[in-house]
Structure 1
């Protein structure tokens, strides 16, 4: 193993996502693209899409405002949600992600291609003839992209966000939390954005410690299913459903062991 690779694998070189950022396009290419070498599709695309489709298909999770606070410039997890919420507000911690996201929303040259994710959605929903309509609805919904500072009391200062009917967080808490106390502190902040009775959809990685994006090795907080369930209950959430999918792919890019999907609601 080369000295460069050794240095890359040294935990002291881990970067914090919200502090140091990462190459947002490389993140999408590594973990969400349609490239043949992208082996994470079952966990990063199919598992979340299937569970989100099942969740929203029930019909009781809907409202006016959904807040998304997720890692990178991912949008595939919002395809189902856009059918049930009038406004989707996306919070991002760095400018590169905002630019990447807006490039797709505005259908600009060089935007990341999400067609394969849209196709998965309509196939799973059994509505293959609605592909173009699905893309249009998501683009229309993603008009509210707001920069946020996680350390401020009001993360979106000077903007005051209206309380949300639902929050979705995809792969985010584990990359911004240095330890479990941080995780609970940020979870509490997210909870404040949610109406009493509102729903929280949390998608994360279990037992991960790092993620490689381009030349950067990002810190990931290692936690298990029991920890995240207790953390949610401790912040006043009732767990409605929890699904865990064990990892089957093999790659040194990331060391998670399973993907978790949790649907919870905030007690009134």
Structure 2
């Protein structure tokens, strides 16, 4: 067994394109379609369909260069600001936003959303809508008080973070510290939506193993309540994928709002 420490997503070189191929592609041997694609798209569709999460500005702080979790959001927010911690993730995302040659193919994920909607014609151009809604892609520094310094972002009506806290947090204190940084971007009464993997210790990209913070549902619930959030949606899906690329036990999706 390799006794060397795992790499850190936000510190070491991270091949975001290889990550997309491993965990989000339409390849026949991609094992995570039910857990990382269908579950996430369906949960976000349900949460946004209720209609109380909307506004002018949504800020997304998520892992890698994934976009599929934002499809439903762009129906309720015209301005989406995406924050990324490294240049490779920014370049990969911008390649898709600008429809440049070699951009990662996300068509299989937009079709998953269409299949869930009664009026699927309304969602046939979902990728174009999302491209239009993504107004800015900004690099940030986790250790700065203002993560996007010198740029000051407008307060957001909603912050989404998909699996990022898992990848950047070394322990419970880190998770709470980074969560606080993320939620400072919210307006009073704003909404927070989290996706995470439970019981994970590592994930693999190419030949490299990366660290993942291990926690359970009870932990994240207690942290959110302790930070003044009221949880109004929580869904946990037990793992169905068979793969040794990552050792998660379940996927969690939580929506909460901060009291004014």
User: Does TM-score exceed 0.5, indicating one fold?
Assistant: yes
**CA distance in structure 2 between the aligned counterparts of 1:192 and 1:239, rounded to whole angstroms:** 17
Query: Of residues 65, 69, 74 in structure 2, which corresponds to 1:73?
Result: 65
CA deviations over 1:222-246 (Å, ceiling 9, x no partner): 0000000111111111110110000
- Compute the displacement of 1:184 (Å): 0.3
Map residues 112-261 of structure 1 onto 2, 5 A cutoff: 112-261=104-253
SS of 1:155 mapped into structure 2:
coil
- Compute the displacement of 1:75 (Å): 0.3
Matched, 1:87 2:79: yes
TM-score (norm 1): 0.95
- Compute the displacement of 1:267 (Å): 1.2
SS of 2:10 mapped into structure 1:
helix
Contact 2:47 2:233 in 1 (8 A): no
- Compute the displacement of 1:194 (Å): 0.5
* Equivalent in the alignment of 1:108: 100
Matched, 1:38 2:30: yes
**CA distance in structure 2 between the aligned counterparts of 1:85 and 1:200, rounded to whole angstroms:** 14
- Compute the displacement of 1:128 (Å): 2.6
Corresponding pairs, count: 260
Contact 2:114 2:124 in 1 (8 A): no
CA deviations over 1:104-157 (Å, ceiling 9, x no partner): 011111100000011111211233323542111101011310000000000000
TM-score (norm 2): 0.98
Matched, 1:63 2:43: no
Contact 1:119 1:128 in 2 (8 A): no
SS of 2:192 mapped into structure 1:
strand
Unaligned segments of structure 2, at least 5 residues:
none
SS of 2:48 mapped into structure 1:
helix
